[in-house]
Amino acid sequence: MDILEKLTILSDAAKYDVACTSSGVDRSGAPGSLGNAAACGICHSFSADGRCIALLKVLMSNACAYDCSYCVNRKSNDIRRATFEPHELAELMIQFYRRNYIEGLFLSSAVLKNPDYTCEQMIELISLIRNEYRFRGYIHVKAIPGTDEKLLTTLGLLADRMSINLELPSNNSLQMLAPDKTRESILKPMGMIKDGIKENKTDLVKYKNTPQFVPAGQSTQMIIGATPETDYQIINLSEALYKKYELKRVFYSAYLPVVEDRNLPAISSKPQLLREHRLYQADWLLRFYEFQASELLDEKNPNFNLLIDPKCNWALNNYDNFPVEVNTAPYETLLRVPGLGVVGAKKILRARRVGKLDFSDLKKMRIVLKRAQFFITCKGKTVLGIKYDPESVLRGLISDQSWELAGPPMEQLSLFNDIKVIDTGSFNIMDSKKEEIRQAKIKFLNENSNAQSNNFILNESTLQSNEFFMRGERQKCLTGQI
């Protein structure tokens, strides 16, 4: 089998791994070696699905000894198998790196024979890259649960980031879909890596030349939508992973049906991309905005609102905290304003030191007011000089979204009915995301239709007429009539 064929099989098998980041470690180049690493991470390309390509993401082998039902590489699946020789993959990776195609390597593997043997093969490959090629760039390895601790330590000293896939959000689901793995076998090495990093940090203070153990930290990923866990369970799990295991990142991947199995969603089901998006937004709130999982969801409302992002949702439920005055609010409060990010809040902090800010100033500073306008005041005034209540704000927020998301694109008015040609073939992923929002919107509006001042019957056709959202509703929301 030639290398092109191997690369095709083994990158195809690796593509469902989410993490492709190269961040977390700064390492300058050195004479006689190759490569460096930047803590901010550098993407080198973006594939047709819009995801970043920073690393050469491949499996070392897809000849798996396990039989996890959600996985394409499971033993019982009839697919072509391939395994890279260490020198082959090392040369390929280095040649890609020299051409600035990639930032480093993301090495994962199916279980070859057993976890220990697989780990030994990985160590051989990465030692070759680090020692023979003197490579100082980024390497991310995926550890396999059940590997011997000593081997993991050796691997950790060669890699920048290590990750162990949590696979599924609960032990029950794991037992059902991945019988060869248990929650304990996954969490144990995670704990070991965490301790290793900690120990290594104290050693580094004592001895300058201690080799670094997983300097960019560890991450994990889980599949969502294949099993019945709620967002509340998932986000609590992530919070625990960040706090207890000091993970750098938790990745979520919407389940894409790849195999037929009675325990899995039907192969025709659509991936829950919007739900995945909301989980990532919430994940950001946990990591950078000092939110607690318990603030975002609770047992009564265990899932995220698909219509508005988690921060808006929180703000509406706690509307008595708003609006906040841009010119005086502390940083932590600004961070909690929907539509304001870390960069925006810092900009405000900086600019207000030299003068009072107005809405026009914020606009000039490129602060996006689309969502923030409902939650802030400048010099005591809201953008339109009126008071909002949560109800009107919610309407403002979702009808704003409808500009882009609701219904078909705007059409020229015509005296005659257009003949509609339904093209089912072009239903792509963007449409399915829109569709998800649209359905949620119809549901919401139907539930709240008595709140309408005018007697619109809310169904698909009123939604599609655009008129309702764009002219009437939106205008009213903005002027606070509702």
Partner 1 sequence: MPYRTDITYLYDGSFEGLLCCVHESYYKRELPSLIFNYKEMQETLFTVKEIETVLENAKKVETSIKKAISGEALHLVRMCYYSNSENREIVILNFLRMGYKIGPSVTSMLSDDTVKAITDIAKSVSRESMYYLEFIRFSDYNGALVAIIEPKNFVLPMIVNHFCDRFPSEQFLIYDETNKHGIVYQNGKKALIPLDNLEVPKACKKEEKYRALWKQFYNTIAIEGRINPKLRMNNMPKRYWKHLTEFQ
Q: What would the x/- binding string for partner 1 be over residues 197 to 236, using CB under 8 A? A: ----------------------------------------
Q: How many CB atoms lie within 10 A of CB 145?
A: 22
* Integer Cα distance of 266 and 270 in angstroms: 9
34 belongs to the binding site for partner 1 (CB under 8 A) = yes
CA distance linking residue 71 with residue 331, whole number of Å: 44
CA angle 367, 371, 374 (to 5 degrees): 105
Q: Which amino acid is at 244?
A: K
- Stretch of 91-99, 198-206, 228-236, 386-394 contacting partner 1, by CB under 8 A: 91-99
Spatial distance between the Cα atoms of 467 and 447, rounded to a whole number of angstroms: 21
The least CB distance from residue 257 to partner 1, in Å, is: 8
The DSSP code sequence of 341-357 is: -HHHHHHHHHHGGGS--
Q: How many CB atoms lie within 10 A of CB 143?
A: 27
User: Considering the rule CB under 8 A, would residue 30 count as an interface residue with partner 1?
Assistant: yes
Distance CA 299, CA 295 (A): 11
Contacting residue, 48, 266, 413, 419, with partner 1 by CB under 8 A: 48
Nearer to partner 1, 90 or 393 (CB): 90
Which of 262, 266, 300, 355 is close enough to bind partner 1 by CB under 8 A? 355
CB of 399 to partner 1, least distance (A): 22
Query: Per CB under 8 A, does 300 bind partner 1?
Result: no
Smaller CB separation from partner 1, 15 or 287: 15
Q: Which two tokens stand for residue 311?
A: 């921060």
Task: Give the type of residue at 115.
Answer: P
Contact call for residue 347 and partner 1 (CB under 8 A)? yes
The least CB distance from residue 9 to partner 1, in Å, is 9
Candidates 156, 215, 271, 341; binder of partner 1 (CB under 8 A) is: 271
Binding mask 418-447 for partner 1 (x = CB under 8 A): ----------xxx-----------------
Of 276, 202, 191, nearest to 241 by C-alpha is: 191
Beta bridge partners of 223: 253
Per-residue binding letters, 121-160, with partner 1 (x by CB under 8 A): ----------------x-----------------------
Q: Of the candidates 1, 342, 343, 365, which one interacts with partner 1 according to CB under 8 A?
A: 365
d(C-alpha 60, C-alpha 123), whole Å: 11
The verdict on 294 binding partner 1 (CB under 8 A) reads no
Interface pick for partner 1 out of 92, 204, 369, 440 (rule CB under 8 A): 92
Query: Cβ(272)–Cβ(257) under 8 Å?
Result: no
Taken in order 193, 196, 202, 206, is the CA torsion positive or negative?
A: negative
4 binds partner 1 (CB under 8 A): yes
Provide the total of helices (H) and of strands (E) in the chain, helices listed first: 19, 10
- For position 266 contacting partner 1 by CB under 8 A, the verdict is no
Judged by beta carbon, residue 9 or residue 329, the one nearer partner 1 is: 9
Structure tokens at 187: 């969490």
53 binds partner 1, rule: CB under 8 A = yes
The tokens describing 391, both together, are 């109800």
Q: The tokens of 418 are what?
A: 């257009």
Q: Whole-angstrom Cα distance, residue 327 to residue 356?
A: 6
Does residue 79 touch partner 1 according to CB under 8 A? no
With vertex at residue 59, the alpha carbon angle to CA 58 and CA 63, rounded to the nearest 5 degrees, is: 150
Out of 19, 23, 25, 35, which residue is the one contacting partner 1 (CB under 8 A)?
35
Distances (CA, A) of 305 to 75, 311, 369, 434, 471: 39, 11, 21, 14, 25
Distance separating alpha carbons of residues 11 and 18, to the nearest angstrom: 13
User: Could you tell me how many residues of this chain bind partner 1 (CB under 8 A)?
Assistant: 58
Q: Which of 63, 72, 237, 273 contacts partner 1 by CB under 8 A? A: 273
Min dist. Cβ of residue 233 to partner 1 (A): 24
Q: Which of 1, 26, 46, 198 binds partner 1 (CB under 8 A)?
A: 46
Q: Which of 19, 24, 25, 56 binds partner 1 (CB under 8 A)?
A: 56
Q: Residue written as tokens 């949590």?
A: 166
Residues whose CB is less than 8 angstroms from the CB of residue 30 and which lie 6 or more positions away in sequence, other chains included:
136
Which residue lies nearer to partner 1 by CB, 29 or 191? 29
Query: Which residues 368-427 are close enough to bind partner 1 by CB under 8 A?
Result: none
Q: Are 259 and 35 in contact (CB under 8 A)?
A: no
* Member of 90, 159, 162, 351 binding partner 1 (CB under 8 A): 351
Nearer residue to partner 1 within complex by CB, 52 or 440: 52
Which residues are near partner 1 by CB under 8 A? 3-4, 7-8, 11-12, 14-16, 28-36, 42-53, 56-57, 92, 95-96, 98-101, 137, 256, 271, 273, 347, 350-351, 353-355, 357, 360-362, 364-365, 428-430
